[in-house]
Amino acid sequence: MPKRPLAQIVPICCFEPRPNGWIDLPVGAAAHFIVAATRFNSEEGRWRLSCDPADTISLKMPGENPVISLQFGVGACAEVTVSSWRAGKYDDDPMNLAFEKTNAVQGAQKPVPVRCTAADISVLGRPMMLEPENGLRFGLSLSRDKISWHQPGPLHLWIDNPADTDGSVMTCSRLDFFWSSGFDLYDAYGHRLLRKFEAEQRKQRAQNNVPTVEAGCADWVCSREFAIPIPARSCRTGAEQRLTHDFNRDLAEMYDLPPGTYYVAPRPKRRNNQECATAPATLNPVSLGGYLRLSIEEN
């Protein structure tokens, strides 16, 4: 096939390349890959003799599926983009429609507690307040809703104490536990991402033939444990220098995040008959509009 732009091969009017995510296929259905690359001029200019040629791209599917070898001549330093594709009338593709609805929905934001309005939202971002628990109300915010690939994605914790009495939170049994299982990250199509430690635990358990245990369900062991006071009628945030470690996390360190759109969603509370709170593997993409949104863009 002669080299042509992707838009000439697949008309823009009919197909919207998908961001990070995957397609759910019923048994017997088929999907395809569209692979595009930016090929640098290795004959002259700054990239001259800088890129080793490659004739084949290998795509490895999960499980025991064989490697798919694709004859695709590019340079080793070329940028290759792989997008999922399937036959059908793309304008009515349920996945595309759901994604458009997600972008169109403006989730009803819960008001920021009065006690928290003194914090600098221009630095921390507007918090998404969670349901109260044990007299305190947690919130999460993103400093920026767009970051470049491989750059930090700061996530900040807010704690509001509306009571007339002082409260406190423990650094490990409450805060570290919250960071490990109090919220989850979903891609644009509603699929939950595993934290890095979850992925490693699953890998080890699979190698040892041990059943998988959800984060938040395993035994929790603390080594650094002390109380952080939350005074009556106050709101504490990660902007305080003494709270930098316990009130802030980097999503880019917690997850493997390729370019795409992601949503921070609170994990459902534990029910009376549950030993632990489990995270839904998928969420309806339409429901994601009310959560914190983070876009990761290629440099």
CATH 2.70.50 residue window(s) in the chain:
114-297
Structure tokens at 182: 């109090």
Phi-psi region of 125 (alpha: psi -120 to 50; beta: other; left: phi over 0): left
Backbone angles phi, psi at 14, to 5 degrees: -110, -20
Question: Radius of gyration (Cα) for the chain, nearest Å?
Answer: 23
Domain 114-297 sits in CATH at 2.70.50
Q: Classify residue 220 by its DSSP letter.
A: -
Selected residue with higher pLDDT from 154 and 2: 154
User: How do beta strands 292-297 and 146-148 pair?
Assistant: parallel
Q: What is the mean pLDDT of residues 244-252?
A: 94
Whether the CB-CB separation of 75 and 84 falls below 8 Å is answered with no
pLDDT in tens, 5-62: 434 344 333 344 455 455 566 666 666 666 666 555 555 555 455 555 566 667 666 6
Q: Which two tokens stand for residue 229?
A: 């006071």
Instruction: Judge residue 114's burial from the number of C-beta atoms within 10 Å of its C-beta, 0-12 exposed, 13-18 middle, 19 or more buried.
Output: exposed
- Cross-strand bridge partners of residue 148: 297
* Whether pLDDT at 252 is above 80: yes
* Whether 215 contacts 277, CB under 8 Å: no
Q: How high is the pLDDT of residue 11?
A: 39
Higher pLDDT among residues 282 and 19, named by residue? 282
pTM as predicted: 0.66
Say which range, 22-26, 113-117, 158-162, 240-244, has the weakest mean pLDDT: 22-26
Which pLDDT score, from 0 to 100, does residue 10 have?
A: 41
